[in-house]
Amino acid sequence: MSDKEHFISVILPLYNNEDIIGNCLEKLSAILREQFSFYEIIVVDNCSIDNSFERINDKLKTIPCARCMSLSRHMSIEIAITAGLETCIGDFVVIMEHGDPSTMIPELVDKCTSSKSGILQGVCIEDENYSRGMIANLFHAYCRKALGVNLHPGSTFFQVLSRKNVNYILKFKDRYRQLRYFTAAIAKQNNFFKYSKTTSTPRSRFRIFLQNIGDGVKLIINNSLHPLRLVSILGLVASAFNLLYIIYVVCVYLFKQEVREGWTTLSLQSGFMFFMIFLVLSLLSEYIGLLLVETRKRPLFFLKEEATSSTSVTNMDILNVMENQDNDYR
């Protein structure tokens, strides 16, 4: 099937972009109309407080194959993209922000059709430079070793997904959506492409650093039991120290001649109580971790490829229905 015959869906989340939405939609529509026979543009208005939705409505009168969804409340960009994914019908889905280069879409779709993973992940060159450093390298090394996902520094929401991978992503029912983690979890090896944004909002390096720290902590907590496992280990270590303290108190009572009255009883009581408290907390942490895994309801596996034999039945004599003639089945 050629690119002309593929149905392409483009999801464009927006928030307070009334000044640029008109030109953005016109340029995007012109590129899709020239390169593809079948396409749709899904604009997701993330409850803008300006006149973005009205501007989009005006453009829909002249731009074909486009529709707009407006959320009733401002949500994260992942939720806005998910709203578009649930309604798109394309064979290949392009997720992009208003500052991403729409001229790359035909080339990216062509690469995605020939890709085994069916996923192309965008890496912004400017964000990649900001994401370099010792802390960032340690975080990405942790993700590769502990979480089993390859999160490239500077990864953005500019992605191209096949229909199969879109269906996999929609199976994740997590309320806190992290699409870049989902796409990395589906395929072991994703294809990355680098690009520069056409327009970008200036941000300070410190603000980018704080945002990266927040995203990293949220990703680890939402997708790993390691923080909870660390709490369990600390609880076991604390209970072990209290057990050693109990042994110390007993030894002092047995081998020391002069022991202050009441010290042994009070020490044994406090040591035993703290030992039991930390031990119970460790066990509770493990059971909470199991409950988290069960309540996430994530897919157990993802199919990379599937092939079927051209022959389904080897012995024609064992067919249930050989022929249908005058309602006489043989």
Evaluate if residue 235 carries a pLDDT over 60. yes
pLDDT value at residue 150: 79
Per the domain annotation, does 250 fall within a domain?
yes
CATH code for position 160:
3.90.550.10
**Same structural domain, 175 and 255:** no
**Same structural domain, 132 and 74:** yes
pLDDT band at 43 (very low <50, low <70, confident <90, very high): very high
**Same structural domain, 48 and 60:** yes
Mention every residue, 6+ apart, whose C-beta is less than 8 A from residue 187: 117, 118, 119, 165, 302, 304
Residue with tokens 């529709």: 67
pLDDT band at 329 (very low <50, low <70, confident <90, very high): very low
187 contacts 225 by C-beta, under 8 angstroms = no
The DSSP string of 108-170 is HHHHHHH-SS-EEEEEEHHHHHHT-SHHHHHHHHHIIIII-----TTEEEEEEEEHHHHHHHH
CA distance 103 to 113: 17
Per the domain annotation, does 185 fall within a domain?
yes
- The mean per-residue pLDDT over the stretch 47-73 comes to 89
pLDDT band at 330 (very low <50, low <70, confident <90, very high): very low
Residues above pLDDT 90, as percent of the chain: 20
**Same structural domain, 238 and 263:** yes
Cross-strand bridge partners of residue 68: 43
Q: How many helices (H) and strands (E) does the chain have?
A: 11, 9
**Same structural domain, 146 and 192:** yes
Per the domain annotation, does 22 fall within a domain?
yes
**Same structural domain, 207 and 271:** no
**Same structural domain, 170 and 283:** no
**Same structural domain, 161 and 29:** yes
Q: How many CB atoms lie within 10 A of CB 296?
A: 12
**Same structural domain, 236 and 170:** no
Write down which residue in 204, 223, 242 finishes a domain: 223
Radius of gyration for the chain, computed over Cα atoms and rounded to the nearest angstrom:
29
Evaluate if residue 309 carries a pLDDT over 50. no
Write down which residue in 164, 191, 223 finishes a domain: 223
Per the domain annotation, does 324 fall within a domain?
no
**Same structural domain, 124 and 261:** no
Mention every residue, 6+ apart, whose C-beta is less than 8 A from residue 149: 143, 181, 184, 185
Residues above pLDDT 70, as percent of the chain: 81
Element (DSSP H or E) covering residue 282: helix 263-296
- Domain range for 281: 225-295
pLDDT band at 316 (very low <50, low <70, confident <90, very high): low
Element (DSSP H or E) covering residue 26: helix 21-35
Mention every residue, 6+ apart, whose C-beta is less than 8 A from residue 158: 95, 96, 97, 100, 122, 124, 195
Give me the number of domains the chain comprises: 2
Per the domain annotation, does 286 fall within a domain?
yes
Per the domain annotation, does 313 fall within a domain?
no
Evaluate if residue 310 carries a pLDDT over 60. no
CA distance 122 to 104: 11
Nearest CA-CA partner of 121 in 215, 198, 191, 196: 191
CA distance 124 to 161: 18
Per the domain annotation, does 305 fall within a domain?
no
156 contacts 150 by C-beta, under 8 angstroms = no
Per the domain annotation, does 307 fall within a domain?
no
Does the global pTM surpass 0.75? no
Write down which residue in 173, 205, 223 finishes a domain: 223
The DSSP string of 205-244 is HHHHHHHHHHHHHHHHHHH-SHHHHHHHHHHHHHHHHHHH
**Same structural domain, 230 and 214:** no
**Same structural domain, 271 and 185:** no
Q: In this predicted model, what pLDDT tens digit does every residue of 283-301 receive, in sequence order?
A: 787 777 767 766 666 655 4
